[in-house]
Structure 1
Amino acid sequence: MLPESLDCHKHMIEIKNLSFSYGEQKVISDLNFTVRERDFVGVIGSNGAGKSTLLKMIVGLLTPSEGDIKLFGESVRKFRDWERIGYVPQKNAFNPLFPATVREVVLSGLYNNKNVFRRLSRQQQRKCDDALEVMRIQNIQDRRVGMLSGGQQQRVFLARALINHPDLLILDEPTVGIDVETQAAFFELITHMHAHHHMTFLMVSHDIDMIRNYLGHDPIQRNGKINFYSHHSHELQNCAAEDLQHSLT
């Protein structure tokens, strides 16, 4: 029998009877949804449908009005192992005048309540080097983030989210504000990571054509104005066998 760590049927996110309201306005109502290990889930919906609200509840920035969210089997209310999750918020959440270099922004992904005032170790600096190299931004690591193009900024934020080698990557409208060619290159990058690097993705996007080309034309579920699309990295019946082969190489 394969160990649990090689079972990609396990649940990364479990959403049960979830509802959320802003005052009298209910945005999400009685949502039930599961993200399995190595899924790529795309969330599509009109403005105000509750897409970003959903992601903020998953990463603990908002509290559900009703229901519960479990991350890796533990309620989000008690979850503390945030290093397992990489989160790239909407670009408009970033202040372009913030005086930080590319390297400083990427390194900030390592800080938490335990080490916010500690000097980073050599190993942590190497993690930063690796993330910069993977995103091909090591040559601009000393530049101010606010001086970069939209595509370069998104690579910086993705490097920041990847620095802890997370099991789950959550992206909120990652291609907004960048040109079409750069959008395509960015999406190609993250789908390659999904297919070949054993990662799980949850992404809100406004680009329905790009989502459908990779995740299929028909949503697997709807909730109000939100549509959910999903694609696994390979056939589920072959998942455990491929994981075992990967662990032995």
Structure 2
Amino acid sequence: MQNINCHQDIITLEDVSFSYQSQTVHKGLNFSVKERDFIGLIGSNGAGKTTLLRMIVGLLKPESGTIRLFGQPVSQFKDWDRIGYVPQKNSFNPLFPATVREVVLSGLYSRNKLFRKITKADQKKCEDALHAMNIEDLAMKRIGELSGGQQQRVFLARALINNPSLLILDEPTVGIDSETQEGFFHMIKHMHQHHNITFLMVSHDMEMIRSYLGQQPAAESGKLKFYKKHSHDLQNCVENDLTHSLKELRQQMESRREVVTVGDLS
């Protein structure tokens, strides 16, 4: 059993404010995310959900206040390989000249190691992530050639490859078919319950958020609502990487399809 301190702050927001072109987006935002929390972030269009995530990962600087990651101010934080981040699909430049394999492997790079040498172990992680998301046949295609749903699978594989301690997801299932959505939610609930990982997810799927995180938000700020579930008991899996549960889920789905096919023929 791992020694887990479930009271450690993973994300801390202290009086965070942000304005865009003189329009206030966030004002005096205070919230903390503790180890093994699952936070679902809900808000209307223009509520600042994506802005908040971008501040947390250091892509935007707050106008005032402090954001801490694992106890360190974002400006001083160095362990970016501990964080997996899937931005909104519409933030991606489709002309970016990279293959699917290159995009997934880039999830292993930290901001301090942009040109690290890819090892055999890294290649194996990449193959596992590609297989888990059922995109291994797309490995050599340019990312801009893919459909929106395929691109999102690539970005999910990229975020999962490094086995992050914190996974930040901005509308991760937009453009993905319902079967893949079901599988993805199954996977992240499994990871939350059985692994030492913390989730912060923006989603438009109120039914999914409330079914797992409860009917009432844990906190509200402006137009934002924070739903929260804490996983107290760490039930270790034999496997401790993120992709194994995706692979198992894919096998289960394939088995179900085989059963349906046989049933149709009988």
TM-score band by shorter chain is 0.7 to 0.9
- Structure 1 residues 84-95: aligned runs within 5 Å: 84-95=82-93
Letter of the 1:167 partner, please give it: S
Cα distance in 2, alignment partners of residues 181 and 122 from structure 1: 32
Distance apart, 1:113 and its partner CA: 4.4
Distance apart, 1:48 and its partner CA: 0.6
Residue 33 of structure 1 is matched in structure 2 by 31
- Structure 1 residues 96-245: aligned runs within 5 Å: 96-233=94-231, 236=232, 239=233, 242=234
SS in 1 for 2:181: helix
Distance apart, 1:118 and its partner CA: 4.3
CA contact (8 A) 2:195 2:237 kept: no
Cα distance in 2, alignment partners of residues 62 and 138 from structure 1: 34
CA contact (8 A) 1:151 1:182 kept: no
Matched residue count:
239
CA contact (8 A) 1:154 1:174 kept: yes
What CA RMSD, in Å, does the superposition of the two structures yield over aligned residues? Answer: 2.3
Distance apart, 1:213 and its partner CA: 1.2
Distance apart, 1:84 and its partner CA: 0.5
Structure 1 residues 118 and 182: CA distance shift in structure 2, 3 A: closer
**Deviation by residue 1:88-139 (Cα, 9 ceiling, x = unmatched):** 0000011233332221110111234443334322232222223223333334
Cα distance in 2, alignment partners of residues 104 and 158 from structure 1: 14
Residue 79 of structure 2 is matched in structure 1 by 81
**Deviation by residue 1:16-74 (Cα, 9 ceiling, x = unmatched):** 11111113211111111111111110000001101111000000001111110110010
SS in 2 for 1:77: helix
Letter of the 2:30 partner, please give it: N
**Deviation by residue 1:132-153 (Cα, 9 ceiling, x = unmatched):** 2333333432233333343332
Structure with more contact order per residue of length (Cα contacts < 8 Å, sep ≥ 6): 1
TM-score w.r.t. the length of structure 2 is: 0.81
Distance apart, 1:246 and its partner CA: 6.9
Unmatched runs of 5 consecutive residues or more in structure 2 = 241-266
Residue 48 of structure 2 is matched in structure 1 by 50
Letter of the 1:77 partner, please give it: S
* Identical columns (%): 61
TM-score w.r.t. the length of structure 1 is: 0.87
Letter of the 1:21 partner, please give it: S
